[in-house]
């Protein structure tokens, strides 16, 4: 499936970094409707539509039965060169091969104004990350005849259900958001783009327990479906267009490569891992484009008893609530939890949709056990910061719960958008503030001191004070 890249400043590119495609300005605008920027008035009823959009070839199925009738009456046919070559364009009918979308939109507007029926040929389901959004945003009256989407076809080739999968795109935008969705969620389909395909995404998924399916040239004689691992995907050349499925797998299976015995073809072998190996946030509620991340069913700022921990090495719930709010985790973002301890901060970021790397020097720390208990996928790096930070993918936000100024300096050098630091010792506050400011961050700070209700033997209630903690937030302007 091909989605035209958005024009500069175009407010109606499909999706956001909340659930489907990831465009930060749309997500931050607090407008989550998949129809944002599209008028619902003035649309010609389907029976009288002048522009017929026909989906083709995603699953290798026969052409839509309405295609022949639409072509027979068309005065203009628009589509990719391969689509134009695949249909019987009537003699004398004008054609436009899609490149930049602007000229094609101009020709379609002119055809509508002249009362000339037009046909637009597209891949798969053109209303699913396809050209329908751009055509409707341009005010064109449409009749849509969809085919099977490339994502549905890819999951069908794998023999897997996909009603709980997320669908994201790397087309025409920073691919890191799509990559972070693959790191965070157990079942993700990625609509790839040149330079942001299986090799590049595979490189970013090394270290995560993932198995990949790459579906190339779906529905064509050159179709190839390959099961592979992230590391194997890096060293191969993949044909465009292709769809990538990223599926959570037990670490041993992911390292060993794809199993045999399931449908599919390709040099890397075949096999079908389970979709539900790791439970992700709200994986059953990601049907609609442009939806915000759902709150985890159990909420966040969970009590300390919700996490295994040793020697009180855990961020208290009141502080954790504030820290997570300052980190602003969401799907499409990568958060580091440095000095993770029990991993409670990183786990709650993962519950809100973020991909998380937890860095902890103590190999006995229960981060993985806690992550499994809460049904999220957290990558754990065992080692002491700052050395352990080398080679990790660049974060969007970092929580520093342990370490000195050398750790904070190493974090700031990676230039995340937000850094949140918790400090118990007041003599460490000023150096941390100065360091963050020198690195270009605007710094805010608060001291949090909570008192919890506690029962007295007499049956009365007292307030039991917790230790005060300073929370610093550095934000890059």
Structural domain spans, the chain: 22-37+150-294, 39-148, 304-475
For the chain, 477 residues long, give each residue's pLDDT as a single digit of tens: 333 333 333 322 233 333 333 333 333 333 334 556 666 555 554 444 589 999 987 665 677 888 999 999 999 999 999 899 989 999 999 999 998 999 999 999 999 999 999 999 998 899 988 899 999 999 999 999 999 999 999 999 999 999 889 999 998 888 999 999 999 999 999 999 999 999 999 999 999 999 999 999 988 888 999 999 999 999 999 998 899 999 998 655 544 444 443 434 333 323 334 443 333 333 333 323 334 456 677 788 899 999 999 887 899 999 999 999 999 999 999 999 999 999 999 999 999 999 999 999 998 789 999 999 999 999 999 999 999 999 999 999 999 998 899 999 999 999 999 999 999 999 999 999 999 999 999 999 999 999 999 999 999 999 999 999 999 999 999
What is the architecture, at CATH level 2, of domain 304-475? 3-Layer(aba) Sandwich (3.40)
Look up residue 306 and give its two tokens: 């919700």
Cβ(182)–Cβ(188) below 8 Å: yes
- Secondary structure of residue 431 in the 3-state scheme: helix
Least Cα distance to 439 among 465, 405, 470, 471 occurs for: 405
Instruction: Record the pTM.
Output: 0.78
- Whether residue 437 is preceded by a cis peptide bond, meaning omega within 30 degrees of 0, is no
Task: Name the strand (E) or helix (H) holding 254.
Answer: helix 251-256
For residue 399, what are the β-bridge partners?
337, 420
Q: Dihedrals φ, ψ of 43, to 5°?
A: -80, 130
CATH top-level class for 22-37+150-294?
A: alpha beta
Token duo for residue 278: 């790791």
Q: Identify whether the C-beta of residue 328 lies closer than 8 Å to the C-beta of residue 307.
A: no
Helix, strand counts (H, E) of the chain: 15, 19
Contacts of 47 (CB under 8 A, 6+ apart): 143
**Which residues does residue 120 pair with via DSSP β-bridges, in sequence order?**
53, 78
Residue with tokens 């039965």: 65
Determine the topology of domain 39-148 in CATH: Cobalt-precorrin-4 Transmethylase; domain 1 (3.40.1010)
Q: According to DSSP H, which parts of 363-458 are helical?
A: 367-373, 405-413, 429-438
């Amino acid at each position: 499936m091909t989605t035209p890249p958005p024009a500069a400043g175009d407010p109606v590119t499909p999706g956001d970094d909340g659930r489907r495609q990831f465009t930060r300005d749309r997500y931050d605008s607090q407008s989550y409707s998949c129809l944002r920027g599209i008028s619902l008035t003035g649309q010609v009823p389907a029976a009288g539509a002048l522009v017929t959009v026909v989906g083709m070839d995603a699953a290798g199925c026969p052409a839509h039965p309405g295609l022949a009738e639409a072509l027979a009456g068309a005065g203009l046919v628009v589509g990719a060169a391969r689509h134009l070559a695949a249909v019987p364009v009537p003699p004398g009918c004008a054609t436009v091969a899609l490149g930049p979308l602007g000229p094609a939109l101009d020709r379609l507007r002119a055809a509508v104004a002249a009362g000339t029926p037009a046909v637009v040929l597209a891949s798969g389901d053109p209303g699913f990350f396809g050209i329908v959004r751009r055509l409707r945003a341009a005010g064109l009256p449409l009749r849509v005849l969809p085919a099977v989407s490339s994502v549905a076809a890819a999951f069908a080739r794998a023999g897997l259900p996909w009603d709980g999968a997320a669908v994201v795109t790397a087309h025409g935008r920073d691919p890191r958001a799509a990559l972070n969705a693959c790191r965070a969620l157990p079942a993700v389909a990625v609509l790839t783009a040149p330079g942001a395909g299986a090799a590049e995404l595979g490189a970013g998924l090394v270290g995560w327990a993932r198995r990949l399916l790459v579906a190339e040239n779906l529905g064509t004689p050159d179709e190839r479906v390959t099961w592979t691992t992230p590391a194997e995907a890096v060293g191969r050349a993949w044909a465009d267009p292709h769809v990538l499925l990223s599926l959570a797998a037990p670490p041993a299976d992911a390292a060993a490569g794809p199993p045999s015995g399931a449908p599919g073809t390709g040099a890397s072998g075949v096999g079908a891992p389970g979709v539900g190996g790791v439970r992700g946030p709200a994986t059953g509620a990601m049907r609609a484009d442009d939806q915000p991340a759902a709150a985890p069913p159990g909420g966040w700022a969970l009590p300390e008893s919700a996490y295994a921990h040793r020697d009180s090495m855990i961020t208290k719930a009141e502080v954790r609530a504030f820290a997570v709010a300052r980190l602003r985790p969401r799907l499409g973002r990568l958060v580091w939890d440095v000095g993770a301890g029990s991993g409670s901060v990183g786990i709650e970021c993962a519950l809100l949709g973020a991909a998380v790397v937890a860095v902890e020097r103590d190999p006995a720390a229960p981060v993985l056990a806690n992550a499994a208990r809460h049904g999220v996928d957290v990558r754990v790096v065992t080692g002491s910061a700052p050395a352990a930070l080398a080679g990790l993918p660049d974060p969007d936000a970092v929580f520093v719960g342990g370490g000195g100024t050398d750790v904070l300096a190493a974090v700031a050098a990676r230039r995340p958008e937000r850094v949140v630091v918790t400090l118990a010792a007041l003599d460490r506050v000023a150096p941390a503030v100065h360091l963050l400011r020198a690195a270009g961050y605007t710094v805010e700070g608060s001291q949090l001191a909570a008192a919890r209700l506690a029962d007295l033997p007499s049956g009365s209630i007292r307030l039991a004070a917790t230790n005060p903690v300073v929370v610093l937030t550095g934000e890059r302007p």
